[in-house]
Structures are given as structure tokens and as C-alpha cells.
Structure 1
């Protein structure tokens, strides 16, 4: 498929976008494809500036008590790496460590882990999808995983742009929890639809730990058309939720800066054309 991803993969990723990231790897689950990350295997650097060079990047350990069916950090059941009974082809079970740091109670740095292709397949089935109704191929699952991961990385980078307003207050924001709300449109998305714009195909709410302060972000995912060579196709509308005075003030500051930038840009263009 080269740099182009099939339309089937794009449709499938939209239909399961609200799945979020499955529970982080847990060494106590004792799966055949799961093992604790040894100290020597931990990457030495974090792609996000944390302000503390002594922290190391490592996958998140099991965040919940065993015996609970639902992980409160991402509202997902335990990871399932077992093939489905009628699965038409085998799928890899390897998982990629994200660049998104997770808030830990002890202050250590751990990183969210993306689902494997097998986990994503099982999650799709659990949500009601049936592969027999689709002309899906093994390569499509690989594309879906790439799109899923790219969307999450893109969302985190957008969050960091907002968090830059508080860089002096906190230089290492971390993602604490998240959940999908695909059927609960945000007020902004509803107002946009009244104006003739399309509704988002998904919505996530992310809770970011700003050095001890919880900040909720709303992320609306819109169809951006064809998938590019970085496996990005969604247009993301990321902003702090209007549930605190700090968030309202941040939204007002960014609105002013955007308006001022556009106004200055229009004046400069006018000078060049005159």
C-alpha cells in the first residue's frame, strides 16, 4: 500500500476510535507474549521534555487491582492477546511504547503502551464489529494500528501546545486518564453542526496531570480525507474543557493570539499586494 492506506482501514479506525488505548502492559498477567520490562531494556531518553534528566522512559505497569474487569484509567477491560475463535488470520501481539507520559502516584515516569493488532481486533469484536461483514485483510489491521497510534501522538502534541502556557508552573505535564465519548457530542461540535459543518466521528476526554492539578481536555476528531504518509487523516480539535476559570482564561488568551496573528498577517499581505 506504500504511503496510502486503504479506505477500509480508514472506515474501521473511525468505527473503533473510541476504544482508546487498552490497559498498559502488566507483568503479572503472565501472558506468553507479556513480560516485565527489565532495567536494561528501558529506553534512556523521553521524547517529551520533562525537566528531570534522571527520569527514564519505561512502559506503564499494571495500574489497577487484579480481579477488577475495568481499568479506571482508560475504561477498558484487561488486555486480551488471544486469537478469536473464528479469526481468519493470525495477528501480531507486539506493542509499541508511546511518547505520552503517564501520571504515576510516586512521581516516576512511565509511558502508555499502545495495543497490539490482536488486542485491537478483539476490542473491535467486543464493540460489536463482525469481520465477516467486511472485506478486511491482515494488512488493514497493520494500517489501523498505525492510524490509531498516530492520532494519539498528534493529540498529545496538541495538548502540549496548550500546556506550554503553563510551562513555568509545570514543565512535565502527564496524561492521567482518558475515555471515549463518541456519542456525546461536545457543545462546540453541536454548534458547528448548526452552522452546516459535519459532526466529529469521535470524541475523547483526556485528564492531564499538571504537576498535581487535573486538567480536562476535550478532543473532537473530524474526517480529514485521505490518509497521509504519516498515517494521519483526522483533523483534531483539541482544547481545555470549559469547566474551570483557568481553562476559560487559557481559551480566551489563545483566541486573542490567533485573532491578532491573523489580523497582522492580513495587514502584511495587504502591504505586499499594494
Structure 2
């Protein structure tokens, strides 16, 4: 997990919102803003709004398709758009906290992308050159298998497993243009406070979804690589040995059964 600490955070566990995060909600594609794949959000002040909020939007460092007509990176919503989306969802949002909320929102997304890059460099393709965020979705309310398992263990070992359920979840689809292959990553967002008066900490649990052979091997490599092969520092060599160990039983089974079939 990647910890992030933010002073005077107004968000708590209420930060999750699919309309204001860097993720689209399911909608007619004609109603989406191509700059960030979100519904078009107005930049105008709402009735009753007392504070003037900035309308400038910040470019992220997260690459999008090189063929994109709009921008080379995804674009975050402005504080005014962020506020409008929260109000539209019926959330009570103090206007004075909106700009801080946007900063936290953007920082968490940047941290998530940095974690994905670390996965790709060490356990994936070995390079982040031209890596792109192809698709993404905020699916708050859908608990990942790992988060569910974590909660079951928390009931048994509450002093060791201290986090409650994630307050949000994103699924990001990463494209490797060099091979034109896509890999899905799951991001669980956790928050905690050491005391009711302390500043909150956010933790991101970023990992490949176990929905392909490559993703399974990446997860195994991350879990077992340094334990089983501490003297093998080269990542490619670690991966080669790990693949060999994984497929050795299958090869042994085939070598044992094929002669019997042929006899």
C-alpha cells in the first residue's frame, strides 16, 4: 500500500464519488467530456453559492491514447466542476473545503498511477515507455475480493488487520502500446485516523486484477520472488525461474502420462 498524508483533510470516508473522480460513470458516450471521459460538468456558479471557486483545470501526468484528438494526458475537473458534481449528487459540501478536496483527489490519482508504473517496471513489461491509461471506472460499492478477505481476517486478528472497508474502488485498464496488450488494475482506497483528532491518512492498494495468466504470474512474482530467490537480483531472471517452477508440475505430468497413452 502507498500511504499519503494530507493536512486538514475535509474528506474522510466521503471522498468516493464516481462523478468527480478520475473515472467515468456509465453514460451515453455523446454526453461525456473527451478530456476526462466524464459527463460534461458546468463551470457556472450554482444558485446560493457564496464562494467563487476556480474554473481552471489541471492536466494530470497520466498518459492517454497517443491518437487522442484532445490532450496527451487525462484532465482533472476544476474545483467548480467538482463542487457542482457533489451538489448534483445531493451531498452537503462546505464550499471552503472544495479546493482542498480537489488537491487530495488529484494527488491520490497520481499516487495510483505511480504504483502502476512500479508494478510494470518490476513485475510487468519492464518498461513504462508509452504506457497509457486506456479506460477506467469508479465502482464504489463493489468490494474487491482482496478487500473482502481482509475484512474476514480483521474479525479474527483485529490488532493486525486494522483497516475497515475501502471507501472507494477504481478499475483502471492500462495499455502497453509496444505489444497492444491491456491489463486491468484494481485500486482500493483506504483511510484511517490514529485518533479522532489526528489528520487522516489515505492508503492505496494497487495491484493487477487476477483475470489473466500474466496478471497471476505478476502477483506470484511480487509475493514470492524476493522470498524464494533472494540471491537473484535481476527481475527477468526471477521471472524466468518463477515461470519454470510454475509450469514444472505440468511438464512433469505430461511427460508421465504421454508415454502411457502412446503405449
TM-score after normalising by structure 2 = 0.69
Aligned match of 1:166 in 108, 112, 124? 124
Over the residues paired in the alignment, what is the CA RMSD in angstroms? 3.4
**Structure 2 unaligned regions, length at least 5:** 155-160, 231-263
Indicate if the aligned counterparts of 1:174 and 1:208 stay in contact, CA closer than 8 A.
yes
Aligned match of 1:209 in 171, 175, 182? 175
Aligned match of 1:147 in 94, 98, 104? 104
Shift of residue 150 of structure 1?
A: 0.7
Aligned match of 1:249 in 217, 225, 242? 217
Separation in structure 2 between the aligned mates of residue 169 and residue 123 of structure 1, nearest angstrom: 37
Separation in structure 2 between the aligned mates of residue 151 and residue 183 of structure 1, nearest angstrom: 19
Matched, 1:96 2:58: yes
Indicate if the aligned counterparts of 1:13 and 1:148 stay in contact, CA closer than 8 A.
no
**Secondary structure of 1:209's aligned partner:** strand
TM-score after normalising by structure 1 = 0.66
Separation in structure 2 between the aligned mates of residue 122 and residue 180 of structure 1, nearest angstrom: 18
Matching residue of 1:191: 149
**Secondary structure of 2:62's aligned partner:** strand
Matched, 1:81 2:43: yes
| Cα distance change of structure 1 residues 18 and 241 upon mapping to structure 2, 3 Å threshold | farther
After the TM superposition, which residues 1-274 of structure 1 pair with which residues of structure 2 at under 5 Å, given as runs? Answer: 5-7=7-9, 9-11=10-12, 14-16=15-17, 19-21=20-22, 68-70=30-32, 76-105=38-67, 110-131=72-93, 136-138=94-96, 140-164=97-121, 165-168=123-126, 171-196=129-154, 197=161, 198-211=164-177, 212-225=180-193, 233-259=201-227
